[in-house]
Amino acid sequence: MVTNWSMGGKRIEASLTLKEFIYMFFKKKLCPGCGAKMKKKIKDHSLGDKSFVDQGVDGKTLYTHTERIVRSYAYHCDVCNIEYPIQQLASKSTTRITQ
């Protein structure tokens, strides 16, 4: 499931599988290590600017410049100080990640 939306001259893309979508919106976010509540962290990675060419209503060519951003999601446990990517939490295996 790929989601695209525009915000203030930026085109944001987020890609979630069905398992990740279900985890993000319907499951409790508890740390696999200690069981404490986790906080969602959103990371945006810029892919640079992209120009789009569009034909205007009156026949004139319009150019728009948009910054492309890929958004990734992770959950952080304050007790363990470990960050888990949503891909890992949505899957059955939850091994620890060191930073």
pLDDT at 84 over 80: yes
Question: CA-to-CA distance for 94 and 40, rounded, in angstroms?
Answer: 17
What percent of the chain is predicted at pLDDT more than 90?
Answer: 26
Tokens of 73: 């999601």
Q: What is the mean pLDDT of the chain?
A: 77
Q: How many CB atoms neighbour CB 32 within 10 A?
A: 16
Give tens-digit pLDDT for 33-65.
899 999 999 988 877 766 656 665 666 666 566
Mean pLDDT of 4-9: 57
